[in-house]
Chains A and B, each alone.
Chain A
């Protein structure tokens, strides 16, 4: 996956975020979003290790070893930021106080089931806050490439990897398209770049309804 593809996916996902929304960004593609948000985006970033009001990465002389995000990268805190412990942070998440979670996934099913924490046979033994976030956030935006590095579609009829949560995804952004889950239905609502419906069909292993209500207007 080239950086250009990742950045395009992140940029389209960033357009989903509205001023005033409290947003939690996962590791990977979502972490590209802060650099893409306009200065006046009004989006408030939450990190589950205990900060509301995440600012841009620090300049060299501002580096503070006590100030990191959930990806363990150095960050800054904006004026008006608040710190809290991990139980309070996840109470915010489960309690429905986080508007949007943007995160990566290995697979998303046509029913919005998300698999993003475990690959059988791989040396990964961590779930972190993924399950809490997809269950608790009011809106869940999945950012991922349409297919895996081996070319397998990642939007699937039924997840094969261990589930993170059932029916949790609201929006799926790939380099080819935007899907929305509405009333239990997977809808292709937007084509990105030069992608065609046929391109999306080829890269998708689930039935979907073509419902191109959006256009290339902001491309």
Chain B
């Protein structure tokens, strides 16, 4: 990751994904999902055995649901597989491995991963089957669970607007996990609805500063 951001095609950008990689994909359902990058991963890459970190595994035949149909996902780390019944079926059939994480823990683990935090204790999930095998301790008398950070080889994020440096601005609820994921991968590829000249984004409006973004791709 350097301060230099390259602008390229989705196909070229996605070529950094290797078989066996962990790939983070932004979006809440399909809202804020980097659909052009996902399509490039589906059509222009043959990387397989992927671990996908995304709140959902798309929907049937849409977004990450296409990659699932190709059998290229080995493992999913998500809070809600249910939005794609084909993903649930694949887990039940044993063709993909599922790690189910409470949504706030999922977001915080990615934040921690990008922020150099080695883990954190949260009361969420304590005493439930999602905390099975995790270290628990009492903090102020309340059971907390130790959660590990989540990082990835590649993050695919979507922003409504970017400048040529890679500063990102998100629109409405399409922000969701994108700014977190942009910080937590070895290589961050940002898909932008619109790419504007440097100086056109107000510095105060920049949500993801450009140092997090390695490659910029226009949606269209």
Listed in ascending order, the chain A residues whose CB lies under 8 Å from chain B are 47-51, 64-70, 72, 77, 83-87, 89-91, 93-94, 118, 123-132, 135-136, 162-166
Contact = CB atoms under 8 A, between A and B. Distances in A.
Contact of B172 (A77, A86, A163): A77
Given A86-B180, A125-B98, A162-B128, A68 B173 contact: yes
A75 to B, nearest CB: 8
B191 to A, nearest CB: 14
B32 interface: yes
B173 A51 contact: yes
Contacts of A65: 31
B31 A66 contact: yes
A128 B111 contact: no
Nearest to A123: B88
Contact of A126 (B83, B129, B175, B179): B83
Contacts of A162: 128-129
A163 B88 contact: no
B91 A125 contact: yes
Residue with the greatest number of chain A CB neighbours at <10 A, chosen from B29, B79, B91, B207 = B79
A95 to B, nearest CB: 10
Residue with the greatest number of chain A CB neighbours at <10 A, chosen from B32, B106, B107, B171 = B107
A69 B160 CA distance: 19
Given A84-B175, A85-B177, A128 B103 contact: yes
B118 interface: no
A46 B153 CA distance: 33
Given A90-B103, A126-B79, 19 more contacts: A66-B32, A66-B160, A69-B173, A83-B172, A84-B175, A85-B179, A85-B207, A87-B110, A90-B104, A90-B108, A125-B81, A125-B91, A126-B82, A127-B103, A128-B102, A129-B102, A131-B104, A131-B128, A136-B123
A86 B176 contact: yes
A165 B101 CA distance: 14
Interface in B102-132: 102-108, 110-111, 122-130
Interface string B55-97: 1000000000000000000000011111101011101100000
A94 B180 contact: no
A70 B107 CA distance: 15
A85 B104 contact: no
29 contacts: A48-B104, A50-B28, A66-B171, A66-B172, A68-B173, A72-B31, A83-B170, A85-B178, A86-B103, A86-B107, A86-B176, A87-B108, A125-B91, A126-B78, A126-B82, A127-B130, A129-B103, A129-B104, A131-B124, A131-B130, A132-B104, A135-B123, A135-B124, A135-B126, A136-B104, A136-B124, A163-B128, A166-B126, A166-B127
